Structure 1
Amino acid sequence: MDTENIKHPIIQGLLRLIRAEDRSGAYDTELDEDLIAPFIVTKAQKRDLPMFDDPDPDILMRVGQFYAAVAWEVERRTGKPVAPLMNIHHEGWGKALLICGRLVAVNSHVRELHRFGFEDLAVLIEKAGKLADEGVASIEKFPDVAEA
């Protein structure tokens, strides 16, 4: 596993969220690499998945955790509270929004949810970073709306 990228603030935020949702304490002794592993889906693995399928609840949970980690990163950078909202159709497509005050700071389309994952941690960090940059830029451009 990529031990350098596992230290990135976005990955560390995602790991905190994963562990926070563990009510039984089972993840307390799990390695970071094992907890983040389900987010890594190679192109070869995606090719083996059917083109259309209903996403299972674990995948929906991972998508929610990913966008919550991005929201957390935007909060860390701006000091403003940011909330993720998702509206996902049972066939695996929809929207994920990051809301700050009355501002839609990020509006992201999701599709092929049953294939959700990233080639490696660097790609996950890059995608999350771009979304966080978008959220920060929106909040900086419209601070009055973000405060409302």
Structure 2
Amino acid sequence: MNTLVLDDADREALKRPFIQALLTLIRAQDRSGAMEADTDEELLAPFVVTKVQKRDIPMFGDPDPDILGRVEQIYMAICWLIERETGIAAAPIMNIHHEGWGRIVIITGRLIAVNAYVRELHRFGYENLVQMETKALKLVEEGIAAIRQFPDVAAA
């Protein structure tokens, strides 16, 4: 398994709530204990894909199931932070086309709290942990704002 080389900003991001939520979800989904000895850096390595690495990834065929799993883990962590802040359960729904594009919504009650379009999932990944956290927190804030704007719909 690959290990990330972290700079100071990534080390700080590693301590913050989003990355910690993501790591908790990854470890919780390891039912067999196969990743028990893996470091946080090893678990997060598949989420970091540089521009050079992305160029080498072919766009043909269905997106890899491991990639789709990572996308789901990211959105589950986003849901967890939204739920933690608002107290309202949030769940992601993914509709991904076999060519690697699609839509992900986060639903709370009857409210679509987050509506995200994704493309090129064959090449899914972030330049670094800071970028991953920044993009995720924008969606968390969007979801929290929608819930606060429409609390009755979110609780329905």
Residue 49 (structure 1) shift: 1.9
Q: Is the 8 A contact 1:70 1:132 kept in 2?
A: yes
AA partner of residue 64 (structure 2): D
**TM norm structure 2:** 0.91
Partner-residue secondary structure (3-state), 1:29? coil
Match status 1:39 vs 2:50: no
What is the CA–CA distance in structure 2 between the aligned matches of 1:81 and 1:143, rounded to whole Å? 12
AA partner of residue 134 (structure 2): E
Aligned with residue 26 of structure 2, among 18, 27, 34 = 18
Percent identity over paired residues: 62
What is the CA–CA distance in structure 2 between the aligned matches of 1:134 and 1:116, rounded to whole Å? 21
Aligned with residue 145 of structure 1, among 141, 148, 153 = 153
Matches within 5 A, 1:64-79: 64-79=72-87
Residue 54 (structure 1) shift: 2.2
Matches within 5 A, 1:94-113: 94-113=102-121
Partner-residue secondary structure (3-state), 2:49? coil
Q: Is the 8 A contact 1:105 1:138 kept in 2?
A: yes
Gap runs ≥5 in structure 2: 1-5
What is the CA–CA distance in structure 2 between the aligned matches of 1:27 and 1:50, rounded to whole Å? 28
What is the CA–CA distance in structure 1 between the aligned matches of 2:114 and 2:60, rounded to whole Å? 26
- The Cα RMSD (Å) is 1.0
What is the CA–CA distance in structure 2 between the aligned matches of 1:51 and 1:25, rounded to whole Å? 32
The equivalent of 1:59 in structure 2 is 67
**TM norm structure 1:** 0.96
The worse-fitting range, judged by mean Cα deviation, of 119-128 and 46-55 is: 46-55
Residue 21 (structure 1) shift: 0.9
Runs of 4+ in 1 over 3 A off after TM superposition: none
Gap runs ≥5 in structure 1: none
Report how many residues are paired.
148
Matches within 5 A, 1:111-130: 111-130=119-138
